[in-house]
Amino acid sequence: MTKEDILKLRDHCEVTKVQFKERITDKYDVGCEMVAFCNSHGGQLVIGINDKTGVMNPLSYQEVQETTNMLSNMASENVIPSILLDVDTANVDGGSIVVATIKEGLNKPYHDNKGIVWVKNGADKRKVFDNAELAEMMSQCGSFAPDEAAVKDFGIKDMDEQVLKKYLLNRFAVVMQKSGVSEVNLRDFTVEQMAHFVVGGISLEGLLRNLRFIRPDGKMTVAAVLLFGKYPQRWLPAYTAKCISYVGNSVGGTVFRDKVRDEDMEGCLLHQYDTIMNFFTRNLRNVQVEPEFNSLGKLEIPYAALVEFTVNALVHRSLNWKAPIRIFIFDDRVEIHSPGELPNGLTVEDIMKGTSMPRNEFLFTNANYLLPYTGAGTGIIRAMEEKPDVTFENHETAHEFVIVFRRKSNGVTNGVTNEVTNEVTNEVVSQVEHQVTHQETNQETNQETNQETNQVHHSKPLLTKAQKDILNFCSVPRSAQEILDRIGLTNQTFNRKKHIQPLVDMGVLEMTNPENPSASNQKYRKVTKK
C-alpha cells in the first residue's frame, strides 16, 4: 500500500468500511470493531491516523512490530470464532501507517470474548440482541435455512389439494408426457393417485419426503406451508401482505380508496400473488396508447414489471423478520416493501445486472412450478425492458428492500385520454349514433342468443379480457364514471350500455341500488356468489 492510497482512505473520512485509530489503546474496543466488520461486509482498520482530526501520526518501526502482533493476537483471542487478518503497511513521512483488512466472515454470527455480537452501524458499531437479526446472519452464511425449518403440527391434511396437484402437474410434466397420460386425465386423479403415478408405488407422504417438504424428523418445512397450506397464517401469521390504496401521498393518511382485508389475503403464496395482482389492476389506471376509439389501453405501470417484483417480494423476502410484505398505492407512486435488505452483500447495481443470489433457495427452487417465475436472475432485466419509472432502495438499518414506481399524475393521464377521445369523437359522432341504434336493435337478439348458447355449455359466462378487468376493478363498488374512466371512455349512455350493462345482464355485476337504476349514487360491484 502506498502513501497515496492512505491519503485516499483518509480523505473519505470514517465510513462503514474504514475505521481510524491513532494507536491501539483499548484492545477490547478494537476487537469489537473486528467483530463488527466480520458480521457486516468487511472493512479496514487504519492505525496511525487520528479518528477525530484525520491528522496522520505515523508509527515507528518498533510500534509497527508491536501493533502487528497485537492485531494478530486480537484476531484469535477477541474474535470468536477466530479470523485471519491481512496486515499491510504504508511508508509515509515520519514512519508508517498500518492497515488491517478484515473480510466478511463465513461463520456468522461472530462475537467478542464477552459473548456480545457487534455489527457496523454507519461509521460506528452496535450490539445485536434480536434473534431475527442473528438468524439472518446465519442464513447468509449458510448455517441456517429458514425455509427448511420445521413447522410443528402442520400435516398433509392441512394442504390445499388443488394447489398441490398444480405443483405436481407442472413439476412432473415430462414424466407424465412420456407415460402417455394426458394432463386432462390426471386432473381427475386424487393427489394421492398422482403421487403413485409419478413414482410408481410411492405414497404422497413418501413423495413429499423425497422432495424434502417433509424433514427427516417427520415435520413439514416452512416452504411446504407457504406453498401448499390452506391457511398458512395459522402457523406463520406474519407471512402475509398488507395492501392499501391511499387518497393522497402519505402513509399516515386515514382515507383509503381500497384496502385488502387481512382475511382475504390469508392463504398460500399462489393465493397471495393472485390477490396482490388483483389489487394492482383494480386500483391502477389504464392509459390509452392507441388512437382507436373505445380501446382499453394498458396499465399505467407495466403489468410484466408488477408481476416480476410481486413474485420477488413473495419468494425472496426474509423469513427471519416476522413482518408482512407491505404494498401501498399513493396518488403519485406505488411502493412494495419486502422484509429484509438485499442478502449476501448484493447491491442494487448487482441485481440490475441480473446477479441472482437467492435468499430462500429451497423455496424459490420450488416456487417456479406455481408462480410466473424463472428464478434465473433475468426477471428484473425483463421487467426493466418494459421501461417502468422505478427506483430501488436497500435499507439495511430498517431491514427492508423497497421498490418505488412513479405514477403519472391523473391530470396527465386524463389529458392524454381526453385528447385522443376529443380528436376522434368529432369525426365519428354520426357513426356512433348509428352504432347505438344498430346495437340496441341487434344486440338484444344476438347477445341473448349468444349468452343463452354460452350458458348452456358453460357454468360461467365467457368474458373478454376487458370485461374481466372491469369485474376485478369492481371488487369494491364503483360508479359508472369510475368504470368508464378506467377504460379511457367518456360517461355517455352508449358507453354504459356497451361496457357495463352486458355484465349486469350476465349476472356477474350488480347495482348497489337496483330499485333505482338511474340513482345519482348508483354504483356497481362484482357478484361474488351466484
User: Is the pTM value of this prediction over 0.75?
Assistant: no
pLDDT score of 484: 85
Residue 120 has pLDDT above 60, yes or no: yes
Cis peptide before 343 (omega within 30 of 0): no
CA-based end-to-end distance of the chain:
77
Q: What is the average pLDDT across 40-47?
A: 92
Q: What is the mean pLDDT of residues 215-244?
A: 96
How would residue 10 be classed by pLDDT, with cut points 50, 70 and 90? Answer: confident
Instruction: Please give the grid coordinates belonging to residue 326.
Output: 407491505
User: Do 272 and 241 touch, CB atoms closer than 8 A?
Assistant: yes
Write the single-letter amino acid at 404.
Answer: V
Correct CATH for 3-129 of 3.40.50.1100, 3.30.950.30, 2.60.120.330, 3.30.9.10:
3.30.950.30
Alpha-carbon separation of residue 504 from 136, 470, 507 (angstroms): 51, 12, 5
Please say if the pLDDT value at position 356 is more than 70. Answer: yes
CA-to-CA distance for 183 and 490, rounded, in angstroms?
45
* 96 neighbors 90 (Cβ within 8 angstroms): yes
Give pLDDT, residue 448: 44
- CA–centroid distance for 386 within its chain: 18
Cα-based distances in Å from 253 to 247, 404, 411, 457 = 7, 18, 21, 48
Compute CA distances 519 → 188, 479, 483, whole Å: 48, 11, 16
- Count CA within 13 A, CB hemisphere, residue 420: 20
Domain boundaries for CATH 3.30.565.60 within the chain = 241-406
CA-based nearest residue to 325, from 341, 310, 342, 337? 337
Omega within 30 of 0 (cis) for the link into 109: yes
Q: Can you give the pLDDT at residue 359?
A: 87
Answer for the pair 392, 309: CB distance below 8 angstroms, yes or no: no
Q: What is the pLDDT of residues 480-509, one digit of tens each?
A: 888 887 787 777 788 888 899 999 999 999
* Amino acid present at 241: A
Q: What is the CATH code for 437-526?
A: 1.10.10
Cell of 512: 348497489
Query: In whole angstroms, what is the distance from residue 82 CA to residue 112 CA?
Result: 10
Distance CA 222, CA 363 (A): 9
> Which grid coordinates are listed for 383?
421487467
Confidence of residue 417 (pLDDT cuts 50, 70, 90): very low
For the domain spanning 241-406, the CATH number is 3.30.565.60
pLDDT digits (tens, 9 = 90+) for 267-297: 999 999 999 999 999 999 987 665 554 555 6
pLDDT tens, residue by residue, 143-186: 789 999 999 999 999 999 999 999 998 888 777 767 666 666 66
Which one has a higher pLDDT value, 247 or 143? 247
User: What is the distance between the alpha carbons of residues 270 and 258, in angstroms, rounded to a whole number?
Assistant: 21
The predicted structure's pLDDT at residue 204 = 93
Question: Is the CB of residue 473 less than 8 Å from the CB of residue 490?
Answer: no
Q: Give 467's contacts (C-beta < 8 A, 6+ positions apart).
A: 502, 503
Q: Are 361 and 334 in contact (CB under 8 A)?
A: no
Q: What does the pLDDT read at residue 460?
A: 57
Q: Where in the chain is the domain with CATH 1.10.10?
A: 437-526
Using DSSP's 3-state secondary structure scheme, residue 519 falls into: coil
Q: What is the dihedral of CA 227, 230, 234, 240, to 10 degrees?
A: 50
| Measured CA distances, 383 to 170, 192, 288, 310, 388 (Å) | 24, 38, 21, 11, 8
* CATH 3.30.950.30 location in the chain: 3-129
